[in-house]
Amino acid sequence: MNARSVIVTGAAQGIGRELATTFALGGDSVGLVDRDGTALDDTVRALRDAGLRVEPVVAELGVPAEAAAAVDRLAATLGRLDVLVNNAGGSAHTPLRFEDVTEEDFDRVVDWNLKSTFFATAAAVPHLRAAGGGSVVNISAIAGRAGTELLPPQYSAAKAGVIGLTRNLARHLGPDGIRVNSVAPGFIKSGSRVEAIWHDREDPTQVLAMIPLRRRGEMSEVAAAVMFLATDASSYITGAVIDVNGGFFCL
């Protein structure tokens, strides 16, 4: 497989850092975007110390102008764009209970997850077209598939929106040779913030009992699904959602 130019958003920590590392170890040139400049610096330093080619940009991707500037800058630096992975997102430190969610909470979650995916993709499409096509992989979540009460409703709404956007863009961009797919992780071991949320549960073993494989997923298992969708191994797949959740949600 020839080296590609890849942009990963939300790349400073957790699954995003795992994805950026996996692409870079495979020989790709990788652009990293994140809103947290300090964490992004740490990730870039570690990857460059390992001899990997990565280029960082700090941006709020839910702001259209910042998304466009970040993607344009990285595409120019990398020389082209072949793959965009929209991983930026999260529950944005908002409440779990429906009754406690404010308009500000809701808007922030939509900005972090859905608007960031939309506007990063909008900025990437001209570069992908110029490269003759490519792959967009949007990271949704089990929250957008199952609507489980274990996760915040505003987060479920935003991640379900990511799936709807994925399916719509697959139709819009297919004629340009641009494939658009989604990966929906379940309960993944993905960093200190997620671990804190996990261990705050009254009885995490009850959640494990709801997962047919009886364990949480590894970030490498999410990365494997993303890598599949980013390569020619999935050349006739677009508009699809791959669930990486141990069977918690089966459609």
Show which residues are catalytic: 155
Q: Which residue has the tokens 């494997």?
A: 224
Length of the chain: 251
The H or E element that residue 41 is part of is helix 37-49
- CB neighbour list of residue 207: distance below 8 Å, 6 or more residues apart: 150, 187, 201
- For residue 5, the number of C-alpha atoms closer than 13 Å in the C-beta half-sphere is 19
Catalogue the E-assigned strands of 186-231.
188-189, 217-218
**Cα–Cα distance between 169 and 174 in angstroms, integer?**
8
Beta carbons of 154 and 101 less than 8 angstroms apart: yes
At 247, list the tokens.
Answer: 């069977």
**Cα–Cα distance between 53 and 45 in angstroms, integer?**
11
At 203, list the tokens.
Answer: 């009885």
